[in-house]
Chain A
């Protein structure tokens, strides 16, 4: 079925829907990863975004039950050159089109994704709509794209954060009971970590658990006092979508908590910590979305190939008391920092990968070691 991707600057890309009639809107971005579309689809950081894959053949290995990063698909729409209808992989339980249809998410193919990528690189990420109707009236669709909310200033984390705290059972979230006094009976022997879920990827939880940590996940709405009542021993700020600058309350909570607890942040969590300590954030022209970004750990000189997915970046210029720990070697943007005195570490990229290389997994070990040092266990 004929479909059109219309961008706010008036550019249109023709394609075909492989999910039937559809209409979707969001920020159009591209991802350069060559594998891992299922992880991308289910990554809550992509809420509000329509993702175009630069790799032309998508869907080849279908969809399985294990490689999910959350309970559902979060991308607004999926744009590919060619979608495979009959997958081939021993773990596959469903085809990509069926998966998208089941979750009510639009998918289009036949798009010149290289032309689209070049367009976004040159003119920047922008709003767009995908539609199977009005394909003969692109101007109307462009207008609809212009009416969408802008990414800057949008609090999307609020839209994907859970309403209730939960724990992690090894494979999926597990409901918990918070005591009436606001306290929590931590079940495990490991260091107690309160994890803010701004749209967390499950692999972060899998890897935190693998470090022997006792994990309690809390919603973004929890302020510092509420978290303190839970009696955690450390704080972890997750990844998530949208503009960090829109999260003023969360930033405040992070500042307070990081003063009292060993704290770590990934991606949006990194940006929140940056803002909390007086840095600023700015929007990248077309963001970093892929699995091949080189990041140097400036403390060791070692380079990791990292999984990245962010549209905003931290600028710590002028803020004292911090050391840059990681730098992106492609564009020299900040990829990680540490407080010089306090046990606070953060990185912009995704050590949990999923999808992407596992090179940065040492971040979880570092977090664990930091806790051992602070907590003596």
Chain B
């Protein structure tokens, strides 16, 4: 069937900010869909609040709305754009939920918008547990015994009917959020209460536990002619009980017989038909009882998902792109398979390698959060790896994670804990469970016992045992035999180790040599990787897609390309501090190279990203971003240069070792990077330029730190040198806290000194992004932080252009930026953090590389920074590129950060110098208040326009918060406050009702929040005691999803936003209109 001609304009809703459970995979799917629909001649209207996405690049759609993804705003866009159709299946759960709300509110009918891909009844049938269960029973498939609950009474009733343990699954939430496993009635009540609150529909399901069963997932596609294909099967190493997003998974499934697999395939196809997904991709999850093969259906998503992104990368089959084409009427046999060119999309990929996905966790960022894996997702990113065997892929995947592990083993100590402790670790899975399996194997615990404790299939345990067995073999070989290239046994040993995925670093540790010694020994022995293709067809057809992985086979399949080429090193798995923003820059580098006619070669290990779409670059190497793996590619390809400044800290850490290995690094020299990062050298630089820095010192011990602090005066900021994202950074107000910092957070040593800086209280922080060619510098964006200095720049909201800075200060910031760029010889991007206190400009930090804000600044100003930086790195001059002429003005852009606090029970939401946000949104409007309002809305905070505000601030904030409270009072808000704050406000002409603090008796403030008698919370805290006291308030606020701020500056911005919103309401405007 040819494509539909009755629709011309199609709307795509994105997934908004990166949050746990919804990462950049939806940028990958959304941008693929947008490209593919435009290719077909459709007009594309795109909505996404996340500026760091490729999909919101203005070239990708005809109309790009960087607006909050909430039904009322999207309705306004629909009213304005009048699309013929809405494709709701590419923007994750956010996109789907928004589409459902619009359909249910009658907006789609009102404007004649057709839902394509999945209709409203289909979505509801798949998403509502009750309807889904009925549908499954209809086609004779089993689902776990379960009951739907909407009240706590329902919960108690079902709790008596289903045997414990019971799984609690909320409907309509992200990543199983608010779910859990209950082992008794008390657990059940606690978990169910949270689950009911988390569910958009206040609906949870209590389910028979299938804990310990094997978990599988199938990716299905269906077209309008009812043709169904399975793109990929995925098997979870972690059994049921660990959320799929947190599970280590393998493709294809490894432990199913054909009969079992085909039954699962039949079931998936039957489910597609029964649910009625007209077109596109869906995934279906199954659990299989390892004892008798009994299969039950867990759930299905009638949309592309995290797993479909993974399946696309694992097989080379672009699910989202094909899904978009199917949605407009094409059938699978009409869509060519790009990879083989001669065959069509109507087939099932077969793969001749093994793919492993490993989630990345950041529990260390959330003190108080438990490192235990359960049915609610907690990982913030993932790495994928490809090898010819599971063992090779697994070890590559473990080193791709960038947690410091070079593979399954690191120091190869033979020490192990008491077997009972090991078994306990296996029973309670955590982010390091695989290492516990290794330990168990070393401790001599049998495969069956490991399986009984961990529920990991024995096949996987034996694979791990083979790796562990190889450790012994390698160690004894080194003792007995000579490590020399002319020893044939040595070459053989190296090859065996490499086939099992051992890294040079692991061999170096085992053989007590340096990594480079091993590398040279290996190369001299002729043991080097070869690069094989990901081709969807196991080499049955000739493949044209330049998508490669390394393996230690002997065949030679590809040759390095000729011509001028540049390698771009990507950012690896997403984690806090390193996310989609850097991938955005890497993609843009690739696009710029294409424009310049230079071949682009991308190296990355993150399956969620656009950069690992085989369409993005001329060649894609899906590889770990380690020195060994990247150097092998570079030695194979021999590029003209390597770009390290776009992928964040990951490639930056490789810059110096690569340079030492003789690799040409493009742009700012690694020496300049070192000059900016090395404390001493940086100070010398600032002295030379006559620039100001907060007083500081470097301490090798607590005593030294105490002396420095005494000299420069408290408060001080303390942090270890060379860290990313403010790891272990803290503001301390007195010697006592300083001492406890040294006890708890960091150990100082000459190799790892602690930096001590004077903390500038109540300073305004300013972020600057600039582009330089070494001669000229373009100051691309000056961002004024909304929160005061001391909050990690990645966590604070900011506004561009600055709205309270004087022109003189702006000019001074620009002057200093230009001077720093020139002195450092920056070629490419640079980010500087300034602080303003008493009209004085201080420099906090200089990073001569792409920053987290580069995409935000690009979107806010219309100047594609990363693209221009790439051109500059290849020799073009800023004068000729003339970014000044491209700059757009006349509106404000507010960036707001999004936090995963609701995932980590018991973690305080107070912001600090340690970065904890997972994503960001942008609000665009003509005034600060409206832009801020949009940014809050986009970040999930709907600021109230009337009602009751609760205020509790510490003494030094009382004066400062007054103007904000006055505005809210003038807007008609009822003011309530704790005793001290209320007294202060009343004495300053703002009458406030007094509310009891939690320890003052009842009803107290938390009761009021729970009764929904409070609509907005302003709560600041300082010092350990008040922090503890007010934490309950913030936790409850979070749980009940009530808008809150923990800073005075935030309160001011909120008040202004509310005031402007009441006066004028919100309007929508596309990027193309802003740029016009």
Contacts and interface: CB of A to CB of B under 8 A. Distances in A.
Interface in B180-236: 225-227, 229-230, 233
Contacts of A365: none
Interface stretch (A151-159, A163-171, A288-296): A288-296
Given A57-B389, A115-B555, A302-B227, A34 B350 contact: yes
B291 interface: yes
Interface stretch (B97-105, B340-348, B713-721): B340-348
A39 B258 contact: yes
A355 B291 CA distance: 23
A91 B390 CA distance: 23
Given A57-B389, A121-B540, A90 B353 contact: no
Contacts of B537: 32, 292
Interface in A33-56: 33-36, 38-39, 54-56
Given A290-B540, A356-B262, A114 B532 contact: yes
Contacts of A61: 255-257
A100 interface: no
Nearest to B388: A56
Nearest to B553: A112
A84 B538 contact: no
Contacts of A223: none
Interface string A337-377: 00000000000000001111110000000000000000000
A39 B257 CA distance: 10
Nearest to A289: B540
B540 A33 contact: no
Interface stretch (B455-463, B753-761, B931-939): B455-463
Given A56-B352, A293-B347, A301-B225, A89 B255 contact: yes
A303 B256 contact: no
B538 A88 contact: no
Contacts of A331: 342
A263 to B, nearest CB: 28
Interface in A297-311: 301-303, 305
Contacts, number: 157
Contacts of A35: 253, 256-258, 261
Contacts of B258: 33, 35-36, 38-39, 67, 354-356
Interface residues of B, number: 54
B252 A34 contact: yes
A86 interface: yes
B557 interface: yes
B1027 interface: no
A56 B347 contact: no
Given A57-B390, A355-B258, A305 B229 contact: yes
A64 B225 contact: no
B538 A114 contact: yes
B277 interface: no
Interface in A223-239: none
Given A34-B252, A81-B388, A329-B343, A89 B348 contact: no
A34 B459 CA distance: 17
Contacts of A356: 258, 262
Contact of A303 (B259, B332, B557): B332
Contacts of A291: 348, 350
Nearest to B557: A118
B112 interface: no
A34 B352 CA distance: 8
B463 to A, nearest CB: 9
Contacts of B321: none
Contacts of A358: 262, 265-266
B352 A117 contact: yes
A288 B538 CA distance: 13
Contacts of A290: 350, 538, 540
B293 interface: yes
Contacts of A81: 388-389
B418 interface: no
Contacts of B225: 301-303
Nearest to B263: A358
Contacts of A121: 539-542
Contacts of A89: 255-257
A4 B81 CA distance: 67
A113 interface: yes
Contacts of A34: 233, 252, 350-351
B555 A292 contact: no
B350 A305 contact: no
A350 to B, nearest CB: 12
B273 to A, nearest CB: 13
Interface string B454-480: 000111001000000000000000000
A355 B266 CA distance: 13
B354 interface: yes
B306 to A, nearest CB: 22
B554 interface: yes
B290 interface: yes
B347 A117 contact: no
Contact of A329 (B346, B350, B390, B557): B346
B333 interface: yes
A114 B388 contact: yes
Interface string B306-343: 00000000000000000000000000110000000011
Contacts of B290: 90
A90 B255 contact: no
Nearest to B257: A61
A118 B344 contact: no
B808 interface: no
A82 interface: yes
Contacts of B265: 357-358
Interface in B531-546: 532, 537-542
Contacts of A66: 259
B257 A117 contact: no
B71 interface: no
Contacts of B349: 292
A173 B458 CA distance: 36
B846 to A, nearest CB: 48
B526 to A, nearest CB: 15
A340 to B, nearest CB: 25
B346 A294 contact: yes
Contacts of B230: 305
A88 B457 contact: yes
Most chain A CB inside 10 Å of its own CB: which residue of B257, B458, B555: B257
B528 interface: no
B254 interface: yes
Contacts of B389: 56-57, 81-82
A113 B352 CA distance: 8
B292 interface: yes
Contacts of A88: 255, 457-459, 462
Contacts of B262: 353, 355-358
Interface in B254-292: 254-259, 261-262, 265-266, 290-292
A294 to B, nearest CB: 4
Interface string B383-399: 00000111000000000
A94 interface: no
B350 A32 contact: yes
A70 interface: no
A267 to B, nearest CB: 18
A109 to B, nearest CB: 11
A56 B539 CA distance: 13
Contact of A114 (B348, B459, B541, B555): B555
Given A54-B538, A112-B553, 9 more contacts: A57-B389, A67-B258, A67-B259, A88-B458, A88-B462, A292-B537, A305-B348, A330-B541, A354-B258
14 contacts: A32-B540, A36-B258, A55-B350, A61-B255, A61-B256, A64-B257, A84-B459, A86-B458, A91-B257, A115-B555, A302-B226, A303-B225, A330-B541, A357-B348
Q: Shortest 10 CB-CB distances between A and B: which pairs?
A: A115-B555, A36-B258, A54-B538, A355-B258, A88-B459, A292-B348, A35-B258, A54-B352, A117-B539, A303-B227
